[in-house]
């Protein structure tokens, strides 16, 4: 009898323990509710200025339709460049266009990010954006055979793209003739010592001041068109050298009518040296009786232009440079 009673007690104790192990606690742990939050990212992390760009956001417990603002700024100085917004739709904002436009003070390798905010919460973009810059190209030497009636000459120069500019460099050796320009059939004056560095610098400044950075290239597919923030200036560099030249040019004493390869120290027109340098770049005259080119590129008797008697550099003068750059970039460009 005593042994049987002990067995029953042990069974009762085991049942009590099982009941205690399966009972619910007085204060059960509750699952934490999701907190309101937002995140965002650039859809494209690198595009050209003027190409499409988009931003996106994802929300958690953001009110439906809440205004979602993307404030885009430059990383190095926090300069604001753009702000766009859209309503939150099912906890998402997708493909919101922001039209990337490069700031005027943009520096190579600049990065951009944004702050996104909606319904009282905000966050920084999870990635960064940069403007896609074109690679450097060149230099390479371009040669253009020119002819017009009885006239024939060669345009020759080096061209490259660097530092956001199309750089056209022409190297000229000046032969310092010790007399005035001779009449047809008269002997050529002897050549003297090289032209002084001072005179070369003065002539260089005169020509570059009339030809350099007068034109710019604009990408035709840029969304900003003529308001493009990153046109490519055409920089003309004139180097007067004693070797490695593209052209030999006689420089005579006094005044006289110049030609592409026969210049005078005293200009007969303000544009004399710039005009003749234009020929060495492959340009044609724009006055009646000269070495004229064909329409529509070359105009007849356009007195305001450099290739007549004026100082205007019209867009057509940049076509050869434009075509070269288009071939390098695979993009179409217009000159202005």
Stretch 202-223: mean pLDDT: 98
Kindly tell me if the per-residue pLDDT of 6 is higher than 80.
no
86-92: long-range contacts, CB 8 A cutoff, minimum separation 24? 88/57, 88/59, 88/62, 88/63, 88/64, 88/118, 88/119, 89/64, 89/65, 90/64, 91/58, 91/59, 91/60, 91/62, 92/56, 92/57, 92/58, 92/59
DSSP secondary structure of 84-107: EEEE-BTTEEEEEE------TT--
- Whole-prediction pTM: 0.85
**Sheet of 37-42: strands edge to edge?**
37-42, 54-60, 92-97
Give the CA distances from residue 37 to residues 63, 92, 116, 118, 122, in Å, rounded to whole numbers and listed in that order.
11, 12, 11, 9, 7
pLDDT at 33: 74
Kindly indicate the confidence band of residue 229, based on its pLDDT and cuts at 50, 70 and 90: confident
Q: For the chain, list the domains and their CATH numbers.
A: 37-131 (2.60.40.1930), 137-335 (no CATH)
pLDDT recorded at residue 1: 39
Contact (Cβ atoms closer than 8 angstroms) between residue 59 and residue 91: yes
pLDDT tens string 143-177: 999 999 999 999 999 999 999 999 999 999 999 99
d(CA 209, CA 50): 31
Is the distance from CB of 112 to CB of 81 less than 8 angstroms?
yes
Residue-wise pLDDT for 236-289, tens only, equals: 999 999 999 999 999 999 999 999 999 999 999 999 999 999 999 999 999 999
% of the chain with per-residue pLDDT over 90: 88
């Amino acid at each position: 009898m005593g042994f049987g009673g002990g067995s029953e007690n042990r069974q009762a104790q085991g049942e009590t323990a099982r009941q205690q192990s399966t009972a619910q606690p007085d204060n059960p742990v509750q699952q934490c509710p999701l907190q309101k939050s937002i995140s965002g990212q650039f859809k494209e992390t690198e595009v050209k200025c003027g190409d499409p760009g988009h931003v996106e956001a994802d929300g958690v417990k953001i009110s439906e339709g809440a205004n979602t603002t993307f404030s885009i700024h430059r990383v190095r100085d926090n300069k604001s460049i753009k702000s766009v917004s859209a309503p939150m739709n099912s906890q998402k904002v997708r493909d919101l266009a922001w039209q990337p436009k490069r700031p005027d003070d943009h520096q190579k390798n600049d990065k951009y990010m944004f702050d996104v905010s909606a319904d009282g919460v905000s966050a920084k973009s999870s990635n960064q954006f940069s403007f896609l810059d074109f690679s450097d190209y060149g230099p390479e030497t371009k040669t253009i055979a020119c002819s017009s009636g009885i006239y024939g000459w060669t345009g020759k120069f080096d061209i490259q793209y660097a530092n956001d500019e199309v750089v056209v460099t022409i190297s000229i050796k000046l032969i310092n003739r010790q007399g005035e320009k001779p009449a047809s059939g008269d002997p050529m004056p002897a050549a003297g010592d090289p032209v002084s560095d001072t005179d070369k610098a003065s002539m260089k400044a005169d020509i570059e001041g009339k030809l350099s950075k007068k034109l710019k290239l604009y990408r035709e597919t840029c969304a900003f068109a003529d308001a493009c923030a990153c046109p490519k200036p055409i920089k003309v560099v004139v180097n007067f050298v004693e070797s490695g030249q593209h052209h030999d040019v006689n420089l005579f004493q006094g005044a006289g009518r110049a030609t592409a390869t026969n210049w005078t120290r005293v200009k007969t027109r303000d544009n004399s040296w710039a005009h003749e340098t234009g020929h060495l770049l492959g340009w044609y005259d724009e006055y009646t009786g000269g070495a004229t080119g064909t329409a529509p590129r070359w105009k007849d008797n356009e007195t305001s232009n450099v290739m007549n008697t004026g100082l205007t550099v019209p867009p057509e003068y940049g076509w050869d440079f434009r075509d070269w750059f288009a071939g390098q970039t695979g993009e179409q460009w217009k000159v202005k």
